[in-house]
Amino acid sequence: MRNISSTAALACALAALSAAAPAWAEEADAPLPQGEILVTGTLIRGMAEDAPAPVEVIDAAELAAQGSPSIIDLTKRLSVSAGVIGDSSQFDPRSQFNEGAASVNLRGLGPQRTLVLLNGRRMVASAAGNVPLVDVNLFPAAAIGRIEILKDGAAATYGSDAIAGVVNVITRTDQQGFLASGDYRYIRGSDGDWSGALSWGGYLGPARVFLSAGYQRRSELQAGDRDFILRPYPENPQGGWSGGGNPGNFDFDAAQNGIAFTADEGCEAAGAFRGANDLCLSNYLGFTNLVEPEERYQLFGDVAVPLGERLDLRVTALYGRTETELNTSPSFLPTISPSGAAAFGGTGLFVIPSYAPALADYCARYGAAAGCAVDGAGTPQQGALAYPVRFRPLLLSGNPLFDNDRRTARLMRDSDAYQFTAELRADLGRGLELTGGATYSEYDRFFEVGDSFVDLLQNALAGFGGPDCAYASPAARAGLSPEQLAAVAGTGGCSWFNPFSTAIDRNMLTGTANPNYAGNGSAVPGLSTAPGEGLVNDTATIGEFYNVWGRTANTRQWVGDLVLSGGSGVMLPGGEVRFALGGQYRRDRYARSYAGGNNLDLYPCPGSVLDPDAACSPETGALGFIGSNRDVAVSRDVWAGFAELQLPVTERLRAQLSARFEDYGGAVGSTFDPQLRLRYEATDWLTLRGGVGTTFRGPPPENTAANLVILTLIGGAFRAVDILANPDLAPESATTWNAGLVIDRGGFSASVDYWRYDFSGAIESEPVSGITAALFGASGTAHCGDPAYAALQARFIFSGGVCSAANVQRLETYAFNSADVTTSGVDAQAAYDFAAGPAQLQLGASGSYVIEYKVADVLVEGLPVQAAYDAAGKLNYQTTAYPIPRLKGQAWVQGRLGDHLLRLQLNHVSGYTDQRTGIFGPDATLGGAAVTAGKHIAAFDTVDLAWTWSLRTGTQLSAALFNLFDRDPPFARLDQNFDPFTASPLGFTARFGVSQAF
């Protein structure tokens, strides 16, 4: 249990005032105060203007005035939010497997530390990816009345996850009749985005009823539809270029000259880049999307009915569904080598035997330039070798198993979200209220993964591929001499796979035909160009080693709580002390299942696909890249008790005291968190407010009991990284402070708040970039073999067992309690309303400035892997922080004339720095030249213009022009050539909408 001795006085005060409870029963009956609501940040009903917490409210009218931005646009624009997961960004481990989902990331502390509520009730987070997040895309957009954002830690009120703050989406309760709406958003290069909604509200007898249905469709926007996305290697070596592509890199004469991998001679003709170091690099970015096609549906119902004079029941239900897909590389580079169960396997490399038709054709086609070891007749005398991370079976040719214009791999992602709540409110008289609530929420995620069985790929290289090969198994080839193997290869239903550029008919991204395509005729007379017979690849062979399987991730949460609140009977100079006292039970369940080839129980080793009894250590699975895992299901129970007091110390000074105790049981233990908030009305127009408290987040079950595999960039190519569970994780904790002022005088209103978080024990994945930099340094081998780094080196699996950054096949990391973080800043907003003739005008501005985001030293295996630094104003790639621009904000001028409303808004994100050093130094692929562009990521300023016309007939017409001047996102040295967590790649867009009330 965390002991917080400095808060003992606060705990005692809560206990002493709670002891006054018996006096309530002796008081005369008093009705509950009228016109009071439950404001985010408190458990006691009151007036919103009396709340001491820093809460920002965005209502439906404000959203309409801004042009009704999409959820992802809104969350990216929030000045208090940074590092937003939402747009397609498959290249960052924090976004992987979350396609189609959107998040809120207050203060940039991570979406898992922003508690997201629907009508004050929890929504379970998705656990599909590495970062848990609540998918706000599945909230009922057609039902939203307002969004309240508590910009302060709130664990004392709400419990776990509210470290950075709370976002409470509140649905409408006052609608009478029907409301139908629809809109279309023009996006250059795509078919645009569409949405429609229908809702009805009213009374059926004594019951208040609200029902809504919503539909949204996003159209595909390919990476090639924006000219700033696909860039040549010399402009951005990190911009989607891989040294493990196709065309790949091979060794053709290892026996004579030692192993040295060089570019496929058809590299440039196929549309790839050949570096000064004689390596071929292919670009995979064109096979991906900036916006994936999505369809989303939401159904929401809300029924409130009185069960008597003093008893009310409210029941809500939500169902949301997203159907989307991931467009990704046609195949992935293998990061593990084939086992001895495959033909010519077990060497740590892939082998194209000397008798392979593809090798004979390649050597004859390119002659001496090919560097093959051939006899006088030009016949290969030794096989070619392929390094596991220096080639892949398919890339620029696309994957013929996928029937689309790019032959890109298309992998389905579906999400289903459910929430059911029931709340029973009883007026006990004497100003007391008893509320019992129950909430069930569930998030189901299905997603496909596609990858290659490395042993089946090796078999196909050796002429033993295809679904009907009689010699595929090691038993069928047992005892055969090399000559006999050569004789039976390609017979008995067996087929070949050609890994060279000569198998590429055309570049699927440019449409350019490959002049060296073997299908146009072999360079060796007599070799067949029939599919599967050695030169031209066929779908049956590819479909045998490359497959698609499904995974499911399911999270469920049950919450039950009971709260007694109202007047205490204790009077202070400013009025009656009010209280809330209650308890909560919460059960969290996490389950994940893996089908077919990506299940470790079915295929624990590379050889398992050919030999069910194959054994290996470690168990890497049979797939080359995407990684495998075991089914898992874990759950936990959390019990909590909480109390809150509102103290009207004087007519001008109010205090809010809150405290919460949560018990997780087991190794996690318990936590106690108090909070104090003050509000002082200095004058009729000036109010001061402030607060201090502690907050926490318990370790999610998936971090304590379930392993994950992510994909991240190491040594110039993506590698599989295991994130292993850690049962010894402690809860995260933070101490938060805020102090501010609110001005409301005449037509002018403003607020300024200083905030600070001292954050300890953040549950993160160990930083990949820091681990690799610590072991390999700038040389790529700096501490290999160093006894002090032995434990760190043991985390890696290397090709051939040779320690080097270039040889990394796989990395093992853990979930851990990371370094301390101190972050602080200032939020400010102001608006001035005034009349100008018949028009009502408003000038406004809102912004947040991050003063600091200091991260302490990060240690792994007792070694420093990430030195202490200030993440504010930095990109923070592959660190424990998200991109943190120092300043985000908006400024606007808005005018209303009659039924017309017009708003012009400037959106600003300040520039920030990519703090990496290695990528800006000499590049061997460019002959030692350095690419320095992208060190500073420029500011991103856009202008929006929105108009609405509200007719007396209940019709509303609207139009909005976003990014009016068509600004491209600032260049960044990332895969997509911009920062998708911060900026938008859409450019100018136009939205047109209509709604009708009836």
Q: 118-153, pLDDT tens digit by residue?
A: 999 999 999 888 888 999 999 998 899 999 999 999
In a domain, 807, yes or no: yes
In tens, the pLDDT along 60-72 reads 888 888 988 888 8
In a domain, 169, yes or no: yes
Of 63-77, 139-153, 633-647, 969-983, least confident by mean pLDDT is 63-77
- Provide the β-strand partners of residue 372: none
pLDDT of residue 12 exceeding 60, the answer is no
Q: Is 190 helix (H, G, I), strand (E, B) or coil?
A: coil
In a domain, 609, yes or no: yes
Residue range 893-912: mean pLDDT, rounded: 97
Contact, 215 vs 181, CB < 8 A? Answer: no
> How many other CB atoms sit within 10 Å of the CB of residue 896?
18
How many residues appear in the chain?
A: 998
Q: How far apart are CA 738 and CA 741, in angstroms?
A: 10
Q: pLDDT exceeding 90 applies to what percent of the chain? A: 78
In a domain, 238, yes or no: no
H-helix or E-strand spanning residue 459 = helix 454-461
Task: Return the pLDDT at 937.
Answer: 98
Task: Return the pLDDT at 86.
Answer: 79
- Phi, psi (deg, nearest 5) at residue 254: -60, -35
In tens, the pLDDT along 948-961 reads 999 999 999 999 99
Residue range 429-442: mean pLDDT, rounded: 96
Cis before 247 (ω within 30): yes
Q: How far apart are CA 658 and CA 43, in angstroms?
A: 9
Task: Return the pLDDT at 40.
Answer: 85
Band of pLDDT at residue 257, cut at 50, 70 and 90: low
In tens, the pLDDT along 741-787 reads 999 999 999 999 999 999 999 998 888 888 998 999 888 888 999 99
Of 190-194, 414-418, 560-564, 617-621, least confident by mean pLDDT is 617-621
Of 301-305, 687-691, 729-733, 850-854, least confident by mean pLDDT is 729-733
Q: pLDDT exceeding 70 applies to what percent of the chain? A: 95
Closest CA to 99 of 403, 441, 553: 553
pLDDT of residue 37 exceeding 60, the answer is no
Task: Return the pLDDT at 205.
Answer: 95
Contact, 55 vs 151, CB < 8 A? Answer: yes
Q: Which residue has the higher pLDDT, 840 or 918?
A: 840
In a domain, 149, yes or no: yes
Structural domain containing residue 970: 48-221+292-328+414-449+551-997
- Provide the β-strand partners of residue 869: 855
In a domain, 179, yes or no: yes
**What residue type is 306 in one-letter code?**
P
Band of pLDDT at residue 35, cut at 50, 70 and 90: very low
> How many other CB atoms sit within 10 Å of the CB of residue 2?
15
**What residue type is 762 in one-letter code?**
A
Closest CA to 398 of 480, 488, 328: 328
In a domain, 521, yes or no: no
Closest CA to 214 of 230, 200, 225, 199: 199
Q: How far apart are CA 776 and CA 719, in angstroms?
A: 16
pLDDT of residue 26 exceeding 60, the answer is no
Q: How far apart are CA 72 and CA 130, in angstroms?
A: 20
Q: What are the distances in angstroms from CA 644 to CA 159, 564, 895?
A: 13, 10, 42
* CATH number of the CATH domain containing 847: 2.40.170.20
Number of domains in the chain: 1
Q: How far apart are CA 497 and CA 358, in angstroms?
A: 8
Within 8 A by CB and 6+ apart from 404, the residues are: 410
Query: What one-character-per-residue DSSP string does 206-251 give?
Result: TEEEEEEEEEEEE--EEGGGSTTTS--TTT-TTSSEESSSSS-EEE
Q: How far apart are CA 329 and CA 936, in angstroms?
A: 29
Burial of 8 (0-12, 13-18, 19+ CB in 10 A): exposed
Work out the mean pLDDT of the chain and round it to a whole number.
91
Q: How far apart are CA 389 and CA 808, in angstroms?
A: 8
For 35-70, letters b (16+ CB in 10 Å) and e give eeebbbbbbbbbeeebbbbbbbebeeeebbbbbbbb
Task: Return the pLDDT at 652.
Answer: 95
Contact, 345 vs 353, CB < 8 A? Answer: no
Within 8 A by CB and 6+ apart from 287, the residues are: 223, 327, 328, 329, 330, 395, 398, 406, 408, 409, 508, 509
> How many other CB atoms sit within 10 Å of the CB of residue 618?
11
> How many other CB atoms sit within 10 Å of the CB of residue 935?
16
For 822-860, letters b (16+ CB in 10 Å) and e give bbbbebbbbbeeeeeeeeebbbbbbbbbbebbbbeebbb
Task: Return the pLDDT at 88.
Answer: 67
> How many other CB atoms sit within 10 Å of the CB of residue 479?
6
Encoding tokens for residue 669?
A: 């233990």
Residue range 500-512: mean pLDDT, rounded: 97
Q: How far apart are CA 164 and CA 656, in angstroms?
A: 19
Contact, 509 vs 272, CB < 8 A? Answer: no
pLDDT of residue 28 exceeding 60, the answer is no
In tens, the pLDDT along 678-696 reads 999 999 999 999 999 999 8
Of 30-39, 749-758, 799-808, 831-840, least confident by mean pLDDT is 30-39
What region does 684 belong to: left with phi over 0, alpha with psi -120 to 50, or beta?
A: alpha
Band of pLDDT at residue 659, cut at 50, 70 and 90: very high
Residue range 543-558: mean pLDDT, rounded: 97
Q: Edge-to-edge, what's the strand order for the sheet holding 384-386?
A: 262-263, 249-251, 384-386, 350-352
Cis before 838 (ω within 30): no
Torsion of CA 564, 566, 569, 573, to 10 degrees: 140
In a domain, 353, yes or no: no
